[in-house]
Copies of this chain bind each other. A is one copy, B any other.
Amino acid sequence: MAPERTRRRIPDATVSRLPVYLRLLGEQGDEGVDSISSERLAELAGVNAAKVRKDLSYLGSYGTRGVGYEVAYLVYQIRRELGLTHDWPVVIVGAGNLGQALAGYGGFGERGFPVAGIVDVDDNKVGTVMGGVRVRHIDDLPQIVQTKRVNIGVIATPGMAAQDAADRLVKAGVTSILNFAPVVLNVPHGIETRKVDLAVELQILSYHEQRRSGGVGGAVGSGPRSATA
């Protein structure tokens, strides 16, 4: 390949915001907006304007001073940087409540992440269809990953089965994992992992609520507007 030396590394914080900008820019584009300022984009994204400019500067200087950014071009650049110029098929492990919801959630395919397959250990679930995809046995994982060129795996199993799922995914050749199970996964170096834990999110909110309601005192079930029990 070209001298393409160590490609500008983009800070994690920025990477996590680019998808947000991308979505907003897409919406703006659909509404006929063809140029947008960092200030406006910042407002839509709920962040600081300087941050937007700095974030976008990591992609290169694609803005026009005095004018702003051309929406369509910016969309293209962000998509390119995020690797969204082509689809990334994903495989879902676990066909329970969550797995079903994920498979049925149309947003996946629409946004470039078609569900290449769903697998489960439970033979009773194998064969059923969810979101247009037939559930297959987890032993078929390697085959699915290979034939469908899957790089991303989604773990939607109970916590107990998550590590095994991760092991199988890695063994099958997956290099990125999105984990919904409340478990700290142990994966080989080089495997990218992200975790979404509903319980953690709720507990963080709980912390703030508890704080709001008068600090760590006795166990009182008082809400902001509720009668003190």
Contact = CB atoms under 8 A, between A and B. Distances in A.
- A contact residues, range: 35 or more
Interface in A100-131: 100-102, 104-105, 107-108, 111-113
A196 B199 contact: no
Nearest to A214: B1
A215 interface: yes
Interface string A42-73: 00111000000000000000000000000000
Nearest to A100: B101
Interface in A80-96: 80-90
Identical copies in the complex: 2
A2 B202 contact: no
A84 B209 CA distance: 10
Interface stretch (A16-24, A29-37, A133-141, A161-169): A16-24
A2 B22 CA distance: 49
A204 B20 contact: no
10 contacts: A1-B214, A19-B204, A22-B203, A46-B184, A84-B206, A86-B223, A97-B100, A97-B105, A107-B199, A196-B201
